[in-house]
A = this chain, B = another copy of it.
Amino acid sequence: MPAAQRITGVLSPVVTPFRKDLSPDTDRFVRHCKWLMNHGCSGLAVFGTNSEANSMSVDEKLELLEALVKGGVPASALMPGTGACALTDSVKMTKAAVKLGCGGVLMLPPFYYKGVSDEGLYRNFAEIIERVGDDRLRLYLYHIPPVSNVPITLPLIERLLSKYPGIVAGAKDSSGDWTNTKAMLDAFAKNGFDVFAGSEVFLLDNLRNGGKGCITATGNVNPGPIDNVFRNWRGADADKLQAGITATRNIVQKVPMIPALKAIVAHFGNDPAWKTVRPPLTELSSAHEAQVITELKTAGFSMPGL
């Protein structure tokens, strides 16, 4: 069987809608995922940081994932987050994702213990890969030290890639540090290691240096223009297009990002139920909400067809 084509382009770490009782709202979730796939996203990194994924149990996530595939979103476009603190949770989530045919999984390191060694992290990822035991697994390492506080270092990537080529497929770099992304690209892009920027702010730089796209929070609300940069990055107006999506990003990230994304979907989709977040997050303050919506409108932002 020939290897399936790798995911490239713009992926959204899909925000998760919750009902008033804080249970995941499957229908709204599937609907938003379909809107994203029809408006610029080439893939969906469901269960990412912006999805409040770690605020849900493994079973809650598996139910959403199954509903998504049943609902008609192609599994090959899905890159669910499957990395947890508990080895057994990571294995369970990853096995289920591979069995459903997901194009990849985006894997956090175990993030409770801080200052752990690369040896310990290597053992974690290797143990998961061995237990899943399926050549169809495409594992993307999730480097997000500002939140996880547990970095994925270059020597760790090198060791995993050398032991599991083809299975260790790439990384999302959410360090916010372009120097680090560039170092990842320089070291591994030529070896079939697909680097995704963790923000569209770095999309053009990433593509120009051998990267494959971006997995970005703002993909939830601005997928079309971001995808436009991806499709036209070799074009004469690429820098201008990049400046446009960076400007939108800068409006959104002035306020707390996750509740902001939900408030934006709620506003432009005329669906206030979207504002609900799970603790420990809180919804956007009225002042912040008014600010972000006003600034977006002034900038001509829209979410067509939502």
Copies of this chain present = 2
Contacting pair B127 A280 (CB below 8 A): no
Q: Which 5 A-B pairs have the closest CB atoms?
A: A124-B279, A120-B280, A54-B112, A123-B279, A54-B85
Chain B nearest CB from A207 CB (Å) reads 30
Q: Is there a chain B Cβ closer than 8 Å to A188's Cβ?
A: no
| A window 243-263: CB within 8 A of B | none
Q: Which residues of A contact B (CB under 8 A)?
A: 22, 49, 54-58, 60, 85-89, 92, 109-114, 116-117, 119-121, 123-124, 127, 146-150, 278-282
B residues near A88, Cβ cutoff 8 Å: 56-57, 60
B residues near A85, Cβ cutoff 8 Å: 54-55, 85
Can you report 21 A-B residue pairs in the complex whose CB atoms are below 8 A from each other? A54-B110, A55-B85, A55-B110, A56-B86, A56-B88, A57-B88, A57-B92, A60-B86, A87-B279, A110-B279, A110-B280, A112-B148, A113-B280, A117-B282, A120-B279, A120-B282, A121-B279, A121-B280, A123-B282, A124-B279, A150-B280
A24 closest partner in B (C-beta): B88
Contacting pair B112 A111 (CB below 8 A): yes
